[in-house]
Amino acid sequence: MELGINAQPAPFSFETTRTALVMIDMQRDFLLPGGFGEALGNDVSQLAGCISPARQLLDWARSVRMSVVHTKEAHAPDLSDCPPAKLQRGAPGKRIGDPGPMGRILIDGESGSDFVPELAPLAGERVLRKPGKGAFYATDLDDWLQKRNISSLIFAGVTTEVCVQTSMREANDRGYNCLLIEEATASYFPHFKQATLDMVRAQGGIVGWTASLGELIVDRESLNVKARK
Ligand code: TIU
């Protein structure tokens, strides 16, 4: 199904069968107290507002049978995939692999690394563990998308200027058309989120497009009206 929506800096058109929703790192470690985000000194409450819009976006993607990828930033328990430079970030005792209230910080399999319940993946949706900020670094994501003939990606998740923007830039360089849904992403720093939205869509969409969630939801309702006729 070909859809076209209002977006910035220009309308965004995509074929739903050739598009994937990429939900970036909606994990307890970033969204809840006691995880990696808080260990780095951030106010995690800044991210709460994007959970409900992200869930609406996910419901919409499921309703149009779009491919869904849920990424999680998490490291192997032996830290073999965590470079020393990354390991040394943050205060001693609160670094990656250290014990916290949700298990070892940013370690795969610990409760902190899991998704918040509102954004839990369903069977058939791809869960992609990644050791870096970008979803394409040291993962099979590009191959996985190519095998499915996917050419457009809809992005959401946290944080806007770190893992979301890095992943969008990686995808843009690989030739994907990238759309970021404004309400479904958040930063610990609201002005960084705004700056990221601005820089993505500047220069004629140098990294991609941004759109309000309402553009997609409205479209779904108009599709339902069409389907009833
Ligand atoms: N610290 C921060 O803003 N973000 C991260 O470390 N990872 C993600 O953005 N997922």
Atom in ligand 1 nearest the alpha carbon of residue 24: 10
Contact between 13 and 58 under an 8 Å Cβ cutoff? The reply is no
Residue 220 has pLDDT above 70, yes or no: no
The Cα 38–Cα 210 span in angstroms is 28
Question: In what helix (H) or strand (E) does residue 201 lie, and over which residues does it extend?
Answer: helix 190-205
Distance 158 CA to ligand 1 centre (A): 7
Active-site residue flag, 108: no
Question: Using CA of residue 172, residue 176, residue 179, residue 184, what is the dihedral sign?
Answer: negative
* Ligand 1 pocket: which of 36, 44, 94, 165 to mutate (most atoms within 8 A of CB): 36
- Pairing of the two strands 152-158 and 177-186: parallel
Question: What b/e sequence results for 20-57 when a residue is b if at least 16 CB atoms lie within 10 Å of its CB, and e otherwise?
Answer: bbbbbbbbbbbbbebbbbbbbebebebbeebbebbbbb
What is the 3-state composition of the chain as percent helix, strand, coil, each rounded to the nearest 5?
40, 25, 35
Task: At 223, list the tokens.
Answer: 């599709």
Query: Terminus-to-terminus CA distance in the chain, angstroms?
Result: 17
Give the model confidence (pLDDT) of 93-143 as tens digits. 999 999 999 999 999 999 999 999 999 999 999 999 999 999 999 999 999
Ligand 1 and 29: CB distance under 6 A? no
Ligand 1 and 159: CB distance under 6 A? yes
Atom in ligand 1 nearest the alpha carbon of residue 166: 9
DSSP state of 81: T
Average pLDDT over every residue of 65-69: 98
pLDDT band at 218 (very low <50, low <70, confident <90, very high): confident
Ligand 1 and 30: CB distance under 6 A? yes
How far is the CA of 162 from the CAs of 43, 54, 221, in angstroms? 15, 17, 33
Output the residue whose Cα is nearest ligand 1's atom 10: 163
Question: What would you report as the CA-atom Rg of the chain, rounded to the nearest whole angstrom?
Answer: 17
Ligand 1 and 106: CB distance under 6 A? no
pLDDT band at 221 (very low <50, low <70, confident <90, very high): low
- Secondary structure class of 206 (helix, strand, coil): coil
Output the residue whose Cα is nearest ligand 1's atom 1: 37
Give the model confidence (pLDDT) of 160-213 as tens digits. 999 999 999 999 999 999 999 999 999 999 999 999 999 999 999 999 999 999
- What is the value of pTM for the model shown? 0.95
Task: At 190, list the tokens.
Answer: 């609201």
The Cα 53–Cα 203 span in angstroms is 27
Residue in 50, 82, 114, 130 annotated catalytic = 130
- Secondary structure class of 217 (helix, strand, coil): helix
Task: At 147, list the tokens.
Answer: 């095998």
Q: Percentage of the chain surpassing pLDDT 70?
A: 95
Distance 223 CA to ligand 1 centre (A): 36
